[in-house]
A = this chain, B = another copy of it.
Amino acid sequence: VAGRREHVEPLADGAFPDDVLSALLGRLVRSGGLREAHDHADLHASLSETLALRHLLGSSDLAQGELAECLGLEKSTVSRLVAGLERRGWVSRRRDPENRRFIRLSLTIAGEEAARRIGAHLHEQHQALLDGLTPDELRALTVGLTALARVIADGHRSGE
Chain A positions within 8 Å of B, measured between CB atoms, are 1, 4-5, 7-9, 11-12, 16-19, 21-35, 47-48, 51, 54, 69-73, 119, 122-123, 126-130, 132-134, 136-157
Contacts and interface: CB of A to CB of B under 8 A. Distances in A.
A150 B26 contact: no
Contacts of A123: 18-19
B144 A140 contact: yes
B141 A154 contact: no
Given A21-B34, A137-B148, 12 more contacts: A5-B157, A18-B126, A21-B129, A22-B35, A28-B149, A29-B29, A129-B148, A129-B152, A132-B155, A133-B151, A139-B140, A140-B144
Contacts of A18: 123, 126
Contact of A28 (B8, B32, B148, B154): B148
Nearest to A72: B27
Contacts of A153: 4-5, 8, 31
Contacts of A140: 139-141, 143-144, 147
User: Which of A9, A18, A153 has the most chain B CB atoms closer than 10 A to its own CB?
Assistant: A153
User: Which of A23, A129, A138, A148 has the most chain B CB atoms closer than 10 A to its own CB?
Assistant: A148
